[in-house]
Structure 1
C-alpha cells in the first residue's frame, strides 16, 4: 500500500538505487535487451511486466549477477555491479520454484544464509525469529517444506531471502504456482512485508493484475524494450501506445483519422456508415493523421433508449454477454461488424436481465473517456 506521498521518481533530487544505463544484452545473434535505460528508487515495489520472451527475466538476471550486460552499465547504490559476483551483491533472488532445502526445517532453511555468513548463534536465532514473525510462520518453524502448503513455502522462501537484509530483493514470478485466491491474499502479504522492511522489491510477472496490485510503478516491456514506465493508474488511464492500452486490462480500440475540431478536441472519422466520434487529446494530431482511440469498457454506457446528451452515441445489437458476478460485459455489434464492449457493475441481484442477447441498444461515452493514440 504505497502512500500518496511516495513518488521519488518525480523528485529530481532523489538518487536512484538501481540505474540501467544504455544496457544491451545479446545471446549470440539474438538481442534480448535493446539499449535500455531505467531508474528504480529505494523502497519501491517495482514490476517488470510483459509477455514471455520480452526480456524481463533477462533484466532481473542481470541485476542478480547471473548474466552480464553486453553493453552499458548497471549501478546499485552508485556502484557498477557488472564485475561483482552474485554472492557479493547486496541483492537476493527469490525463484519461482522457491528452491527450499527439503531435508531442512523451516527454521534451518531461513537460517542457512546467515550461518554461511558466519553469524553468531545468538544473531542467527534472533534474526530467524524476527523473520518467522514477519511472515507469520512461528507455528511451522520445525516442519519440513513438504509438510506445509504452497503459500507457506512461498513465505519461507521470502523469509530466507529477507533474512540477510538485502538492499534489493528480486522476485521471479513468485506467485505463479499458487491458485488465484491464495495468490491474491499473498499479494497483499507481500506488500505489507515490503512496506514493513523498506526493502526495494523488483518483481517479474506476466500477470497484469498482479503488477497493478502490488507495484508502486510498472515497466511494460515488449521485445527487449520499455514501452512505458509509470504508476499503475497512469498505465491504465493514460497509456502511451496501443500496445500498452491493449496489454493492460480490457479495452476497445477504434482506428480512424483525426481532424482538429476545437482546442485539444478532435473529430475521428472511423466508419463509412457511422457518424464521426469526438475525442480530446493534449497531444497534437495533424489533420487526417491516423489515430487509435482507446476506450475502457467501464467508460461506455449501455442503454435501451437513446441517451439525451452525450458526446458519442452509436447503436448496435447485443452479440455476447460475459457475466463475471460483480460485472457484466456486453459485446455490442455495430453496423459494419465492429464490436464495442460496455461494462456495467452488478450492484443489485439480477432476477431478470433488462438487456439480453440480440437486443438493440445504444452505447455512449464522453469526449474525455478515451485516450487518443498515434501508434
Structure 2
C-alpha cells in the first residue's frame, strides 16, 4: 500500500509582500483639507483583496476621514483613490462596490430582522425572486435564522450588530467598511464578536477595513494595522511586527504597555550599550539598527518581558528598585518598580496558581531584569 501523500501546508496570507499582487485599494498622494486643517496629509497606502485591515489611532488622527473618502462621503482635496485600478473619486457612494457598517448599526426600528437585511436588495437590480434566498443565506451566515421575524428592539446589542453586518454583506460588496462596529458592546461580548467577525470575513472573502481606537481589537482581527497620527501613516505592518518591532516611540507607546528610557548608545561587539542615568549600569540591547557613536536613542521594553525577583539575579540588564504600585488583573499582576533615580519600570507576572496572597507587595525592595533581545532600540 503506497504511503499517503503528506497534507499540504497552509499558505501564509501576505499579498503585500508579493510584487505581482495587485492591490484592491490604492491611495496615491491623497490629501484632505477642511479649510486650513489638514486631516489627511499626502498619504500612500495599498490594501489587498481578502485583507482584514485596521486603521488605528487616537481621536482626530484622520482614520475616519480616510474611511469616509473610501465610502464616497468625502472627496480628496488632492491625490487619487483607486478601487481595482479604477479612480473612484467621481463615483457616488451608491454606485461604489463598497458598503459601510456604522457604529450605531442604523437598523430600521419598524422593520423585522428579515426586512432590514432585504431592504437594500429590494432597491438593487437583483431579481425579486432571488432576494428571499439571499436573505436566508445572510441569516445563516450570522446565525440569526431564529430571530428573522423580530424587530431590532426585541434582540440584544450583539444580535443587532450581526443583523447590521448581514445587511452590509447582502449585496456582496468588494469592500466593507466598519466604523467602530463593536464600540457599543460590553467587553466580553466585544471579544466574542471579534472572532465571529474574523470567521465571517474569512467565509465571505470580502475585504474588511475597520476603524478603531482599541489596540487589542486591532491586534485580534487584523491581517495588517495602519497606525495613524495627524493624518499620516506612522507604521503599516502585521500585528506581531507592529507590537514586537515598532519603528518609533509613538508606535511602541500607542500599541500596548511599554517602559521607554532615553539614553545614548555605543556599540560593543554585536550589542549596543545605552548609557541612561548616572549611577545606573548601561542597558544592553541587541538591535539591527546602525547608530553613530554616542547617538541619542530610546530603549523600549514591554512589561511582560521584564522579570521581577526578590534576590539579585545573575543576568543582564539587572536593576534594583522598590514597588510603588500594583495592578491586579486576575490572570496577571503588573508591578510598577521605581528605581533610585525615579525611573519607573513596569513588570508583569502571570498568576499561574490560585493564591490570594501576593508574591510581592507595596514598598518591597526587588530586582528587575530583561534579556538583550527583549528590549527594542529606537532612534525616535
TM-score scaled by length of structure 1 = 0.98
2:201 to 183, 194, 205: 194
Shift of 1:122: 2.3
Deviation for aligned residue 1:359? 1.0
Which position in structure 2 is the counterpart of 1:85?
A: 92
Give the drift of 1:4.
Answer: 6.1
The equivalences for 1:231-310 within 5 A come to 231-263=238-270, 265-308=271-314, 310=315
Q: How does 1:164-175 map to 2 (within 5 A)?
A: 164-175=171-182
User: 2:318 is matched with which residue: 308, 313, 321?
Assistant: 313
Deviates more, 1:191-200 or 1:352-361: 352-361
Partner of 2:148: 141
Counterpart of 1:163 (choices 160, 163, 170) is: 170
Deviation per CA, 1:339-368, whole angstroms, max 9, x where unpaired? 100011111112422311111111111111
Distance in 1 between residues matched to 2:143 and 2:357, nearest whole Å = 45
RMSD of Structure 2 on Structure 1 (CA): 0.9
Report deviation, 1:64. Answer: 0.2
Instruction: Find the counterpart in structure 2 of residue 327 from structure 1.
Output: 332
> Distance between the aligned counterparts of 1:173 and 1:353, measured in 2?
38
Q: CA deviation at 1:287?
A: 1.0
Q: Secondary structure at the match of 1:221?
A: strand
Partner residue in 2 for 1:363: 368
Provide the C-alpha distance between the structure 2 equivalents of 1:24 and 1:350, rounded to a whole number of angstroms.
55
Paired with 2:316 and 2:293, the residues of 1 have a C-alpha distance of 20
Deviating above 3 A after TM superposition, structure 1's stretches of 4 or more consecutive aligned residues are: none
1:131 to 138, 149, 156: 138
Q: Secondary structure at the match of 1:59?
A: helix
The count of aligned residue pairs is 371
Alignment partner, residue 55 of structure 2 = 48
Q: 1:351 and 1:149, CA in 2 relative to 1: closer, same or farther beyond 3 A?
A: closer
Whole-angstrom CA distance in 1 between matches of 2:121 and 2:331: 47
Q: Distance in 2 between matches of 1:134 and 1:353?
A: 46
Gap regions ≥5 residues in structure 1? none
2:341 aligned partner: 336
Q: Which residue in the other structure is 1:152 paired with? A: 159
In the alignment, what sits opposite 1:36?
43
Map 1:57-68 to 2 at 5 A.
57-68=64-75
Q: Deviations over 1:133-163 (max 9, x none)?
A: 0000101101111111111111111000000
**Which position in structure 2 is the counterpart of 1:104?**
111
Cα distance change of structure 1 residues 325 and 267 upon mapping to structure 2, 3 Å threshold? same
Q: Distance in 2 between matches of 1:10 and 1:262?
A: 33
How many Å separate the matches in 2 of 1:354 and 1:161? Answer: 50
**Distance change (3 Å), C-alpha of 1:13 and 1:118:** closer
In 1, Cα distance between the equivalents of 2:181 and 2:207? 15
